[in-house]
Structure 1
Amino acid sequence: MAPRPRPRSKAGLSGHKYAGPLFASPALIGLAIFLVAPFVLAVVLSFYRVQLNSPRPARFIGFEQYTRLFTDPDLSAAFGHALLNNFTFAVIVVPVQTVLALGLAVLVNRKLRGMVIFRTFIFMPLVFPLALTAVIWRLIYSRGDEGLLNAILGFFSGGALSSQDWLGSPSTALGSIIVMSIWQSVSFQMIIVLAALQSVPTELYEAASLDRANKWQQFMNVTVPGIRNTLIFVALITTIFSFRLFDQVYLLSRSGSVDRGSTETVMTQIINTGFDNNNVGQAAAMTVIFMVIITVIAIIQRAAVRQRGGV
């Protein structure tokens, strides 16, 4: 006769009931301190007229900062142009960087000689400090023969393409920052996709081989469905990171001349409004509206994925 299982005590059950919240508490506390609290503070500041280093106390003005943002022609035009630059950056970077991350992950997942060294070189841009990355790309984009890119183009074109001002020209400034951002960040997405590739069961590939599926068919019918959720996650975080574009523009503009009109983003405009123009309340209102826009985009993107059969 098999022994009866020992019943669990009520104390043990109550202990398990609080185990989840207890283990999640450090992350929740961090989110509350570094995400929720700053956003709530921004909402509060957006209703006041606040100036840094001013003896005047903060003055409550209600929704005036939000009204000015949509009724002031100059302010609304500048905010709309910066938001358009963010959208342009995201529309290009999200698909290109996701596809590149997938291609690099498939490449480095192969067991070839010297692949460890190749993985190291691909991962290097993520290890470099962003300030160092900006200096390197500043040297690449320098105008005239001093720039590495102009020197290469001048060599192959006989000097005809050696005078381009990549960061100072409105037609190429944003594109130059896009290339730099993809080079610097694609290795992060590649690591996430690589981990997903290595979790796809090998039995599925063996079954596909028995069905005489070629490599491309295996990739489309085994690999992509197996890492679909990971690709969705990568696209989501890349979208959020794209709208947070600030560091690259700021560092490149501090190290040389960058066309401000074509590279102005909402984040740079918020910093300039709050610190350079000494209008913290207006900057807070921009932050709140920008946060709402990003949240709506993330919800729409998630809903579109679910309608197509996602999770």
Structure 2
Amino acid sequence: MIAPALVLLVLFLIIPVILAFTLSFTNARLISPNPPRFVGLDNFVRAFTADPVFLQSAWNTFLFALVVVPVQAGLGLVLAVLVNRRMRGTTLFRVIFFIPVVTSIVVVSILWKFMYQKDGLINSMIDTITFGAWTGVDWLNNPSTALGAIIVLSIWQAVGFHMIIWLSGLQTIPEELYEAARMDGAGPWRQFTNVTWPGLRPTMIFVLVTITIAALGLFVQVDVMTQGGPTGSTSTIVYHAVRKGYEQQEIGYAAAISLIFFVAVLVIALVQRRLTRDKD
């Protein structure tokens, strides 16, 4: 019964991982008449010493994750607390917040690319609010604003998903605990810190890990909106690996970048798990 799933798993996960690990130690090119040659650790040394774009991509990736993870998790929790209340219209708000999640990220990126143009909707709104004092910014063509623009888009697009995860965690907390807290004179803030937050610990771990992995794997928004520019200010590790492997056909070097990325994500996930583990 498990044979079909096992075959697919081996073909599309196990074998590619083994091939990537093997190719990372070679000079293989995607289309080349010459066979791959073993080069040892040369690809890894090149990444950290002779490829400034990789270093810039690594910095952009971790900066993106450093901002997105806490902001998206915190905003999702706030929205979940708000829509968890028993009041008219909460179902409508849940649907509104969740719509961007089920919309294709490619479509969302294209729409926001138009909105970020110098004569786009965002500059027009700011110009209206400031009564014509705003001169307008070409958000995606300015190195100081391009990555920030992608961060805002990414938070807006995915926060609804994590709102639903937080909401499911909130609904597992027994109402009797809140009643007992109110009887003891606890206000809303004390109820949150002593009842809600401890009850959300397993949910918090899941949310942090999933947001971190998704943030470190940033690719589509960059590929659609900026192609890594301007001047590499939005290039990420995944985008750089894809560009090296398929556009420049340096598949061995791209595999080495992918292996570095895998190790980095694994270490960060393990550190997160250790920091959020249950303590005796």
Same fold, TM-score > 0.5, yes or no: yes
CA distance in 2, matches of 1:26, 1:101: 37
Find out whether 1:43 has 2:21 as its counterpart: yes
Per the TM alignment, residue 162 of structure 1 is displaced from its structure 2 partner at its CA by: 3.7
Find out whether 1:117 has 2:92 as its counterpart: yes
The answer (yes or no) to whether the contact 2:114–2:120 under 8 Å persists in 1 is: yes
Q: 1:86 aligns with which of 61, 78, 82?
A: 61
Larger RCO (CA within 8 A; separation ≥ 6) = 2
Match of 1:60, SS? coil
CA distance in 2, matches of 1:268, 1:282: 13
Query: Over residues 40-96 of structure 1, what are the superposed CA-to-partner deviations in whole Å (9 max), with x where a residue is unaligned?
Result: 211111122222232222223232222322342xx1x22111111111101100000
TM-score relative to the length of structure 1: 0.84
2:39 matched to which residue of 1?
A: 61
CA distance in 2, matches of 1:40, 1:161: 54
The answer (yes or no) to whether the contact 2:23–2:251 under 8 Å persists in 1 is: yes
CA distance in 1, matches of 2:182, 2:110: 48
Q: 1:304 aligns with which of 269, 275, 278?
A: 275
The answer (yes or no) to whether the contact 2:229–2:235 under 8 Å persists in 1 is: no
CA distance in 2, matches of 1:117, 1:68: 52
TM-score relative to the length of structure 2: 0.93
Find out whether 1:241 has 2:214 as its counterpart: yes
Amino acid at match of 2:158: S
Unaligned runs of 5+ in 2: none
Aligned residues: 280
CA distance in 1, matches of 2:49, 2:156: 39
The answer (yes or no) to whether the contact 1:125–1:185 under 8 Å persists in 2 is: yes
CA distance in 1, matches of 2:93, 2:62: 33
Q: 2:142 aligns with which of 153, 164, 169?
A: 169
1:137 matched to which residue of 2?
A: 112
Find out whether 1:203 has 2:176 as its counterpart: yes
Query: Over residues 190-219 of structure 1, what are the superposed CA-to-partner deviations in whole Å (9 max), with x where a residue is unaligned?
Result: 111111111101110111111111111111
CA distance in 1, matches of 2:76, 2:193: 16
Q: 1:271 aligns with which of 237, 242, 263?
A: 242
Amino acid at match of 1:270: A
Kindly tell me: are residues 234 and 33 of structure 1, through their superposed partners in 2, closer, same or farther at Cα, counting changes over 3 Å?
farther
The answer (yes or no) to whether the contact 1:153–1:162 under 8 Å persists in 2 is: no
Kindly tell me: are residues 71 and 233 of structure 1, through their superposed partners in 2, closer, same or farther at Cα, counting changes over 3 Å?
same
Per the TM alignment, residue 235 of structure 1 is displaced from its structure 2 partner at its CA by: 0.7
Q: Work out the percentage of aligned pairs sharing the same amino acid.
A: 45
Q: 1:251 aligns with which of 209, 224, 232?
A: 224
CA distance in 1, matches of 2:270, 2:223: 29
2:128 matched to which residue of 1?
A: 155
The answer (yes or no) to whether the contact 1:151–1:162 under 8 Å persists in 2 is: no
Find out whether 1:188 has 2:158 as its counterpart: no
Match of 2:137, SS? coil
